[in-house]
Structure 1
Amino acid sequence: MPELSRRRALTAAAALATTAGASAVVASGAAADAGAAPVTPDTPGTPQAAGHEHGHHSPAPFDEVYKGRRIQGHPVAGGGHEHHGGGYAVFVDGTELHVMPNADGTWISVVSHYDPVPTPRAAARAAVDELQGARLVPFPAN
């Protein structure tokens, strides 16, 4: 039998973790189907109950100063192909911050693309935090 290498041990551990994770997801889905209470917009802990906007509802407009930077957001007409913000525009000090809604109702921006947040306002605040005082550079539209 070949000697157990670090690579083989890590591969086996990753496969085991993946299998265990998949089993947990399947088990939780089966438990939910077996009579768990349905999740509704008023169910505590759901994004809708926490004040997150989903579907065709546009988030409320905002205009505030956050950490010395003016952040603004408002719905825009259309939200079509030329505007990826799902019908919503966000600005940091007057420069548009490109935002995009995810399928799960969270939002991402060009500045914090891998850190989804619950609202466009939170995306603007996260961008200000990430910029650390630097100016937001306009992002060319395709």
Structure 2
Amino acid sequence: MPELSRRRALTAAAALATVTAAATLPAAGPAQAAGHHDDPGTFDEVYKGRRIQGRPGGGSGHHHHHGAGYAVFVDGVELHVMRNADGSWISVVSHYAPVPTPRAAARAAVDELQGAALLPFPAN
């Protein structure tokens, strides 16, 4: 039996890690896998006493295309969000702090508002 070299051991470990990682991924077709990160889904929760909601669709005026067809609300008032090229999200309230999801953008806005009401943002 040949002796196990460090190179062979590392190759075997890498192959095992790849197989293990692939086995734990959910089964999805190519279209589903590609769209998974593009679809933030829907949420409706109370965060720090404020109701935050998000759902596909919505938006109005020229801001509609920036939010990639996604609407976010804080206490029923629309929070204008925008998706960056890298997939992160920003809002009109926390414009310089990108976050990974619209839900995180809503939570960041609530944090930034510190109890103040979100005022409607006039669309052009």
For the superposition of Structure 1 and Structure 2, which TM-score range results when normalised by the shorter chain?
0.5 to 0.7
Match of 1:67 in 2: 48
Higher relative contact order (CA closer than 8 Å, sequence separation 6+): 2
Q: Residue by residue, what CA displacement relative to the aligned partner does 1:55-110 show, whole Å, maximum 9, x if unpaired?
A: xx321100000000000000006988451311100000000000000000000000
TM superposition score normalised by structure 2: 0.66
Amino acid at match of 1:132: Q
Larger helix percent:
2
What is the correspondence of 1:1-142 to structure 2 with a 5 Å cutoff? 54=37, 57-76=38-57, 81-83=62-64, 84-142=66-124
C-alpha distance in 1 between matches for 2:60 and 2:118: 22
Q: Note if contact 1:58-1:88 (Cα within 8 Å) is conserved in structure 2.
A: no
Give the direction of change, closer, same or farther, for the CA distance of 1:105–1:80 in structure 2 (3 Å limit): farther
Consecutive unaligned residues of structure 1, counting only runs of 5 or more, are 1-41, 43-52
How many equivalent pairs are there?
90
Identity %: 80
What value does the CA root-mean-square deviation take over the aligned residues? 2.3
Give the direction of change, closer, same or farther, for the CA distance of 1:71–1:111 in structure 2 (3 Å limit): same
Q: Note if contact 2:59-2:70 (Cα within 8 Å) is conserved in structure 1.
A: no
Secondary structure of the structure 1 residue equivalent to 2:54: strand
Consecutive unaligned residues of structure 2, counting only runs of 5 or more, are 1-20, 22-35
- Deviating beyond 2 angstroms after TM superposition, the runs of 4 or more aligned structure 1 residues are 77-82
Amino acid at match of 1:87: G
